Amino acid sequence: MATPIIFPHIEIEGVKYPRVTLHWYDITGNSSWADVGNFREFRCAEVVTEGFVFDIFEHEGKKFVRTFASYIEEGEEGPTFGDRGCFPVDILRGESQHIIKIAELYVRARR
């Protein structure tokens, strides 16, 4: 018998959604002039997103994770979700990629 996966989560209409904190890199843009020294200091923004995993899917050979942070349980057609994000797993920092691998097992187990 497999060990059950334990993950902090919420349950909406009988479906469990794992809670995650994701660390990821975002594009940074700046249209002002910069000298060589300032340009070399230019980096991507390191962003932290907290929320729940809606699902994980593949598209054109790439893996993506969809998240949400807000929800309404009693919508006319079921729950509705807000503060949504869709991230390519490749942009996640190493520890967050590991968390998503575990969350993916959790999401698959709820089916």
pLDDT in tens, 82-107: 999 999 999 999 999 999 999 998 88
In the chain, what are the domain boundaries? 9-109
pLDDT(4) > 70: no
- Distances from the Cα of 19 to the Cαs of 29, 42, 53, 76, 97, in angstroms? 30, 32, 6, 25, 14
Handedness of CA 13, 16, 19, 22 (dihedral sign): negative
Gap between the Cα atoms of 24 and 44, Å rounded: 10
Stated pTM of the model:
0.84
Q: Please, which pLDDT band fits residue 72 given cuts at 50, 70 and 90? A: very high
Average pLDDT of the residues of the chain = 91
